[in-house]
Amino acid sequence: MKNGLERAFHDPECDFIKVGEVDPDGLAANAPGAKLDKGKLKAHLLADFGPALLKVAEVLDYGSGKYSPHGWLEVKDPEERYMAAFWRHLLHGKGKDQESGISHRVHACWNLLAAITLEKEGE
């Protein structure tokens, strides 16, 4: 199974990167200096969330040690279970998870990302 980045860069059916292929200056695709990126998703803006995403990576790392790497992709009833975990962690507020020592909010983010990822897989 491909990970999210592999799907995004290699799967033409991946809907979150579908965009028009137009040069912002109207240049033809084969013209020197053309870059067909008008209207494309500005995914580089995710870098603004770098520190938060690294915290989410800590949850992923913790979970891969506690369970197995990529094992979360095989969980039965993932929508219900990851959303339940999302709400449990979110309702704990700003505190840290006693077991992992990582913020409940970060755990909530991870669970929401897992639910979204698996939702997209099922579409």
Q: What is the pLDDT along the chain (123 residues), one digit of tens a residue?
A: 455 544 454 455 555 444 458 888 888 888 899 888 888 899 999 999 999 999 999 999 999 999 999 999 999 999 999 999 999 999 999 999 999 999 999 999 999 999 999 998 777
Helix axis angle for 104-122 and 50-66, nearest 10°, is 80
Q: Are 89 and 97 in contact (CB under 8 A)?
A: yes
List the structure tokens of 43. Answer: 């995914």
d(C-alpha 64, C-alpha 72), whole Å: 9
d(C-alpha 26, C-alpha 38), whole Å: 9
Q: Residue 36's pLDDT is what?
A: 86
Q: Residue 1's pLDDT is what?
A: 47
Q: Residue 38's pLDDT is what?
A: 85
CA-wise closest residue to 21 among 38, 41, 8 = 38
- Ordered by start, the domain boundaries in the chain are 1-41, 44-123
Longest CA–CA separation in the chain, Å: 58
Q: Residue 112's pLDDT is what?
A: 98
CA-wise closest residue to 105 among 91, 120, 122, 116 = 91
DSSP 24: T
- pTM of the predicted protein model: 0.74
Q: Residue 17's pLDDT is what?
A: 46
Q: Residue 10's pLDDT is what?
A: 46
Q: How many CA atoms lie within 13 A of 2 on its CB side?
A: 10
